[in-house]
Structure 1
Amino acid sequence: MNKQLLIASSLLLFAALYFGGSYLYQKSNASVSSDKQSALVRSNAFVLGNPDAKTTIVEFFDPACETCKSFYPFVKNILKQHPDKLKLVLRYAPFHTDSYYVVAMIEAARLQNKYLEALEVIYKYQDKWASHTGTPNIGLIWSFLPEAGIDVEQLKNDMKKPEIDAIIKQDIADTKTLGIRATPEFFVNAKPLVKFGKIELQALIDSEL
């Protein structure tokens, strides 16, 4: 009787592993539904890499997110390894307190052709201005921006432009459409990164190249 019970238990475990693995495989190969595809890439989003590349990475990020800061050089290095085959579309998901304001800084810097310079200097000093337990000190960022060659006074004026507010609000709306609740969130050719991690992201990108 015990032997029969053991065999039955083994069969149940095998079935659970099989169907669970099958589900994860199908999910990992599933793309965002067609009605949500437009929420992935907007024409005004910043693109890094070859704009005509067939493989598209979409990243929703928050400049106050420590993990986003960690992934930035990793993804940038992957782009460097495949300069003609990849493009990265950067989208905003300002979930942390006051991140909306920081995102507006980055978008305004874009008008000075300093998008990446602003993003990188903001990441560089993230541990000084961002806070994950209390209130962030956004005001400190102003003193860091000149290091990136940014005209701070012009940036302050440009941040007030309604088109910048519209871009950020659209990105926030798209995070809701796509069900994004944490950052960074990655999609490769509209396929979501199911299991989060650098190795998993590399594998998903490699499978699409």
Structure 2
Amino acid sequence: MQNKNLVFISIFVVLIIFAGAVYFYKGSTTSNVGNIGDTLLKEYSYKKGDNKKNIVVVEFMDPECESCALFHPIMKKLYKEYSDDILIVTKYLANHKNSKMAIEILEASREQNLYDEVLDVIFEKLPIWAKHNNEKPELLWEFLKEVSGLDIEKLKVDIKNPKIAEIIKQDRLDATSLNVRGTPTIFVNGIELENLSQKDLFDLVEKGIYK
């Protein structure tokens, strides 16, 4: 009988330890998800979409990145088809020589509600103003004249806002904490997109929408 009691006590102790471990693991997992959410979703970031399905798509982007320019039409298509259901968030990772200037222009364009229009021009003209070993970022000012309603002189003033440098710095810190080194890097509700393809992106988004 004594041996049986010892067995029961041992099993009981093991169960308590297991339950505690499960509780601790769940608590740790929730905390990590929360931290990732705080890292990916900042109040200052450019956002668009009604997000009725609570699907947050975060893109780490560099406006001087050829891959970002190539992926840009896919991001536009995603927004066009699912703007009611999702929220698209843009974060920066300035990895090129003139990335900072392009980001300053983009952020300043928000003051005139022309962010998307300016980004379209920056990517469309990328092969000209950001040509390897022959970069001519000053050409952006000429190209931006194509954006209807854009006040270029106001833009040149607004790019000097010190908050833009803070955004660039914080986004890089966030990228580092998430081990993001290249662009574009995309997260859907905290899950990193493994393959940069339209199908994989849409599949991951639709999985959240139609779950």
Q: Confirm or deny a common fold (TM above 0.5).
A: yes
Deviations 1:88-127 (A, max 9, x none): 1111111111201110110011111111111111111111
Q: Which residue of 2 aligns with 1:35?
A: 35
Residue in 1 that maps onto 2:206: 206
Q: How many residues align?
A: 177
Equivalent residue number for residue 141 of structure 1: 140
8 Å CA contact 2:61, 2:184 repeated in 1:
yes
Aligned-pair CA distance for 1:51: 4.8
- Unpaired runs of at least 5, structure 1: 1-31
Equivalent in the alignment of 1:20: none
What do the CA deviations read for 1:124-154 (whole angstroms, capped 9, x no partner)? 11111013x3252111101011211321221
Matched to 1:58, the amino acid is V
- Secondary structure of the residue aligned to 1:44 is coil
Could you say which residue in structure 2 is the equivalent of 1:49? Answer: 49
One-letter amino acid of the structure 1 residue matched with residue 142 of structure 2: S
What are structure 2's unaligned runs of at least 5 residues?
A: 1-31
Q: Which amino acid aligns with 1:192?
A: E
Distance in 2 separating the partners of 1:33 and 1:135: 43
Residue 162 of structure 1 corresponds to 162
Counterpart in the other structure of 1:184: 184
The answer to whether the 8 A contact 1:97-1:135 is kept is: no
Note the alpha carbon deviations across 1:36-89, whole angstroms, 9 max, x for none. Answer: 331101111111221554111101111111221122221221222223111111
Letter in 1 for 2:100: Y
AA paired with 2:42? R
Larger Rg: 2
Measure the CA separation in 2 of the matches of 1:165 and 1:175.
15
CA distance in structure 1 between the partners assigned to 2:75 and 2:193 by the alignment = 14
Aligned residue number for residue 172 of structure 2: 172
**Cα pair 1:193 1:201 within 8 Å, conserved:** yes
Q: Secondary structure of the residue that 2:195 maps to in structure 1?
A: coil
The answer (yes or no) to whether the contact 2:67–2:184 under 8 Å persists in 1 is yes
- Structure-2-length-normalised TM-score: 0.78
Identity %: 34
**What are the within-5 Å matches in structure 2 for residues 97-176 of structure 1?**
97-131=97-131, 133-148=132-147, 149-176=149-176
With structure 1 as the length reference, what TM-score do the two structures score?
0.79
Assess if the C-alpha contact under 8 Å between 1:53 and 1:87 holds in 2: no
Distance 1:111 1:53, change over 3 A: farther
Residue 50 of structure 2 contacts residue 87 of structure 2 at CA under 8 Å; is this kept in 1?
yes
Equivalent position amino acid for 1:81 in 2: E
Conservation of the 8 A alpha-carbon contact between 2:51 and 2:85: no
Q: How big is each residue's C-alpha offset from its partner over 1:157-206, in whole Å with a ceiling of 9 and x where there is no partner?
A: 11111112211221121111111111100000111112332222122112
Counterpart CA distance in 2 for 1:84 and 1:37 is 21
Query: Quick one: distance in 2 between partners of 1:201 and 1:181?
Result: 19
The one of the two structures with greater contact order (alpha-carbon pairs below 8 A, sep at least 6) is: 1
Report the Cα offset of residue 156 of structure 1. Answer: 1.2
